Amino acid sequence: MTTGILHCQQLGKTYTEGPNDVTVLDGVNLDIQSGERIAIVGTSGSGKSTLLHLLGGLDLPTTGSIWVDGQELSGMSDKRRGDIRNEYLGFVYQFHHLLPEFTAVDNVAMPLLIRGVDAKEARDRASTLLSNMGLDDRLSHRPVELSGGERQRAAIARALVTEPSVVLADEPTGNLDEKTADAVFNMMLELNERVGTALVMVTHDTSLAARMDKSYHLERGHLTLG
Ligand code: ADP
Ligand code: MG
């Protein structure tokens, strides 16, 4: 069986922190090919962020397995999983997760520096991408000095800057006005078309979802097509 760049089988997630166990995901299967564009929709609390975090190696499933380019995440050390994330994935968190003590350009340059890209080149590439997102006069601002929409765009730039195999984006345009959302989405599509980056996007925006190849619905722990 050949599988895509990102693949999961029988994924389950049960949170056991509170007084009651909460099963959020129950037997999720998904196979994402290189260059494929996928939307995930579902009501608030249906487990969309949980699923994206698992696929991105940011959290571990209770059951089931995830493979990135054929490499299974759950058996790996945290260090190795971090390396895989940096090599293959770009992640846009639902809430930006920019590092507060760093400027916009340094936040965006960070994944390149982790890869060992020369500091000057990393900052140049980060600056160019931020400028393309309309943030050319915000390069030296720290997150607290940016508006919600500007922070969101910087967080998206950080996910795209390495031109990864897969971008996992959790409601990336949720904080943006329609025009900016459209511009940012088009940048994701440009990367998708130019380098074959697969896009996995959680969204409530049905017009954006309609521009993807497939749309999955997450409900009661199950993921279904359409
Ligand atoms: P969505 O992104 O679709 O709104 P989430 O994945 O954030 O949904 O959350 C799904 C469910 O899991 C919610 O009921 C939420 O309260 C619960 N949940 C999420 N994270 C945790 C956690 N760390 N501990 C316990 N429950 C959690
Ligand atoms: Mg969420």
pLDDT digits over 3-59, tens only?
Answer: 899 999 999 999 998 888 999 999 999 999 999 999 999 999 999 999 999 999 999
- Ligand 1 in contact with 48 (CB < 6 A)? yes
DSSP the chain: ----SEEEEEEEEEE-SSSS-EEEEEEEEEEE-TT-EEEEE--TTSSHHHHHHHHTTSS--SEEEEEETTEESTTS-HHHHHHHHHHHEEEE-SS----TTS-HHHHHHHHHHHHT--HHHHHHHHHHHHHHTT-TT-TT--GGGS-HHHHHHHHHHHHHTT--SEEEEESTTTTS-HHHHHHHHHHHHHHHHHH--EEEEE-S-HHHHTTSSEEEEEETTEEEE-
The percentage of the chain sitting over the pLDDT mark of 90, rounded to a whole number, equals 85
- pLDDT score of 1 more than 70: no
Q: What rounded mean pLDDT belongs to the chain?
A: 94
- Ligand 1 in contact with 50 (CB < 6 A)? yes
Q: The domain spanning residue 19 has which CATH number?
A: 3.40.50.300
The answer to whether position 186 is within a domain reads yes
| Cα–ligand 1 centroid distance for 1 (angstroms) | 33
pLDDT digits over 86-112, tens only?
Answer: 999 999 998 889 999 999 999 999 999
- Ligand 1 in contact with 60 (CB < 6 A)? no
pLDDT digits over 139-192, tens only?
Answer: 999 999 999 999 999 999 999 999 999 999 999 988 888 888 888 899 899 999
Ligand nearest to the CA of 53: 1
pTM of the predicted model over 0.85: yes
Ligand nearest to the CA of 94: 2
The answer to whether position 139 is within a domain reads yes
The answer to whether position 1 is within a domain reads no
Domain around 186: 6-225
- Ligand 1 in contact with 49 (CB < 6 A)? yes
The number of distinct structural domains making up the chain is 1
